[in-house]
Amino acid sequence: MSFKVALNFEDGVTRVIECNDDETVLDAAYRHHVKLPMDCSDGVCGTCKGSCKQGQYDLGDEYVDEALTDDEAADGLILTCQMLPQSDVVVSIPAPSSMCASGPQSISSTITNVQALSETTIELNVELSEALDFLPGQYINLGFPDSQDTRAYSFSSRPGSQAASFLIRNVPNGKMSTYLSEQAKAGDVLSVTGPLGSFYLRAVERPVLMLAGGTGLAPILSMLESLRATPTSQPVYLLYGVTNVSDLVKLEALQELADELDNFSYATVVVNPDSQHDKLGFVTDHMESVPFALANADAYLCGPPPMVDAVRQYFKDAGTPPHSFHYEKFNPSTPKEEAA
Ligand SMILES: Cc1cc2nc3c(=O)[nH]c(=O)nc-3n(C[C@H](O)[C@H](O)[C@H](O)COP(=O)(O)OP(=O)(O)OC[C@H]3O[C@@H](n4cnc5c(N)ncnc54)[C@H](O)[C@@H]3O)c2cc1C
Ligand code: FES
């Protein structure tokens, strides 16, 4: 038996494919040469998330809560790498059709600079072997020299340039963190696969609220850099949260953007209550500083999983969710229990 799956892309294009019994939507799409957004294909990363509001389906049972929460599943969200249709279905894919026809590219990159911006954050600059046509907010999988392992990192630089940069949290004993902080040097060659992900800046048609936690600032910087190239008349406001004052990085770059972009402003928030800082607590403690109504805004949120979950809960409890809400969780590649 097979079912028809209508893949509804966000640019309005619909492509209908046949999905066999016991075949996931992702596998069926690939069989039809449609490259849906994906990364792990194992129910771990959440990259393949879409929504299904028409038809019967089995969600699959091999995914983790970080990739799809019960609340999201109850709202009709699905993971295409897990979903098994039980009837004809319509699946909305939060990506333009053009992105799904081309799929990720595999290229190489050469380190031009690697430096610690703070105790917790490393900046990596590379020269890509060719410019990647990514959307601001997207990420790549970065390889190590002489290893098949990769880690996901969001561009902090603007699209369309061969010079690319990343903000990387220095995780104690992390494999990439250790490589970057102890061994990496200019000239090292690292593989790059991408671009990937459905967290990217949509057409700016209303006020934009950006929320960044730690190195979650990276994709937000890329979005702001692209707004520098195509300025908007809509207000754009960023709340950037960290644990300690010493974790704040790229403040000069943010100030430059604020000086240059008429409608952009930002504030920083520090969790540690003993800090000498104007705004203490979590970003959700300072939502009153947002200079426009949330209900009419598009919100973009990126950071570590607990922060993303806290903000999602805040929007839920507030009863006035933003007009649209896009988020990226920096889920670890290696689950803690496996790494132990
Ligand atoms: C879509 C996506 C985009 C991402 N973009 C970025 C980015 O732009 N910048 C960035 O810094 N990270 C980003 N990450 C996270 C990144 O891919 C790595 O997981 C992270 O850098 C750790 O890699 P590592 O090799 O140093 O540690 P690993 O060797 O993978 O992990 C070592 C141990 O540390 C734990 N661990 C891993 N990450 C954390 C953490 N953040 N906090 C606490 N413990 C942790 C692991 O569970 C494991 O026990 C992204 C993740 C995803 C899914
Ligand atoms: S591709 Fe990672 S959860 Fe589906």
Mean pLDDT to the nearest integer, 107-114: 97
Site to substitute for ligand 2 among 39, 100, 333, most atoms within 8 A of C-beta: 39
DSSP structure string for 228-264:
HHS--SS-EEEEEEESSGGG---HHHHHHHHHH-TTE
Identify which of 156, 330, 331, 338 to mutate to test ligand 1's pocket (most ligand atoms within 8 A of the CB): 330
The best mutation among 42, 139, 193 to test binding of ligand 2, ranked by most ligand atoms within 8 Å of the C-beta, falls on: 42
Domain co-membership, 155 together with 180:
yes
**φ and ψ at residue 69, rounded to 5 degrees:** -85, 165
Q: Among 18-27, 94-103, 239-248, 308-317, whose mean pLDDT is lowest?
A: 94-103
* Ligand with minimal distance to 213 CA: 1
* Cβ–Cβ under 8 Å, residues 22 and 84: yes
Q: What is the pLDDT of residues 224-277, one digit of tens each?
A: 999 998 889 999 999 999 999 999 999 999 999 999 999 999 999 999 999 999
At 328, give phi and psi (nearest 5°): -130, 130
Predicted TM-score (pTM) of this structure: 0.78
Indicate if 90 and 142 belong to the same structural domain.
no
Any residues with Cβ below 6 Å from ligand 1, and which? 45, 139, 151-154, 166-169, 171, 173-177, 197, 215, 218, 304, 328, 330-336, 339
- Check pLDDT > 50 for residue 102: no
Q: How far is the CA of 64 from the centre of ligand 2 (A)?
A: 10
Higher pLDDT, 309 or 194: 309
CA 168/CA 115 separation, integer angstroms: 10
Mean pLDDT of 161-175: 96
Instruction: Decide if pLDDT at 10 tops 90.
Output: no
The pLDDT score that the predictor gives to residue 340 is 37
In a domain, 337, yes or no: no
- Does one domain contain both 218 and 302? yes
pLDDT recorded at residue 241: 98
- Are the C-beta atoms of 317 and 324 separated by less than 8 Å? no
How many structural domains does the chain have? 3
Sign of torsion over alpha carbons 143, 65, 26, 6: negative
Domain span holding position 321: 208-329
Looking at the domain assignment, is residue 300 inside a domain?
A: yes
What's the rounded Cα separation, in Å, for the pair 109 and 191? 6
- Sorted by sequence, the CB contacts under 8 Å of residue 260 that are 6+ apart come out as 228
Instruction: Burial-class residue 166 by CB neighbours within 10 Å (0-12, 13-18, 19+).
Output: buried
Last residue of a domain, one of 43, 65, 100: 100
Q: Which of 65, 80, 100 is the last residue of a domain?
A: 100
Q: Are 80 and 165 members of one domain?
A: no
Residue 340 lies in a domain: no
pLDDT tens digits for range 119-159: 999 999 999 999 887 778 988 999 999 888 999 999 999 98
Residue 49's pLDDT is 96
Residues 24, 135 within the same domain: no
Q: Which residue has the higher pLDDT, 100 or 325?
A: 325
Predicted local confidence at residue 339, as pLDDT: 44
